[in-house]
Amino acid sequence: MPQPLALTIPPETEEVPRLLDALEGFAEEAGLSPKAAHRLAVVVEELAANVAMHGTGGEGGATYIAVSVRQEADEVIATIEDDGRAFDPLAQATPDTEAALEDRDIGGLGVHFVQQMTKTLRYSREDGLNRLTAVLDAAG
């Protein structure tokens, strides 16, 4: 099993490439298939970018994003944590992907796609922290 990955970054979109580089190293060490490595990168990038774009600013905004990734048997578990205002993206309405573009509400597609790419996606609020845990198939 590869060493778990743990990385804390400022909640800024400019920091996401550094996160992606670390994920690439983890995926190589874990021997993940290209498909599994891609899914892991997309999932973590989307969730971290959401914090950077929507969870900062004003009172109670996030001051960091902590990402941890580990492999357990045939699964990869990624946890994205921030200290911003409580927000459960999974409690938002599922976007209507069948509606015409001009009739759709803005937002929600990224989390929707993440849910499609993961075995499970869970949100919790513990000790003043938002925590999203994504479980992915290590085989892709």
Residue 102 has pLDDT above 60, yes or no: no
Q: What percent of the chain stands above pLDDT 70? A: 86
What pLDDT sits at residue 6?
A: 98
Alpha helices for 12-131 (secondary structure H): 16-30, 34-54, 109-117
Instruction: CATH number of the domain at 56, please.
Output: 3.30.565.10
Q: How many domains does the chain have?
A: 1
**CA nearest to 30, candidates 117, 140, 119, 138:** 138
Rounded CA-CA distance 66/131 in Å is 9
CA–CA separation, 102 vs 88, rounded Å? Answer: 26
Q: What is the pLDDT of residue 2?
A: 81
CA atoms within 13 A on the CB side of 140: 10
Residue 76 pLDDT greater than 50, yes or no: yes
Closest by CA to 76, choosing from 103, 100, 43, is 43
Residue pair 30/40 in contact by the 8 Å Cβ criterion: no
User: What is the pTM for the complete model shown?
Assistant: 0.86
* Range of the structural domain that residue 110 is part of: 5-137
Q: Which amino acid would we find at residue 24? A: E
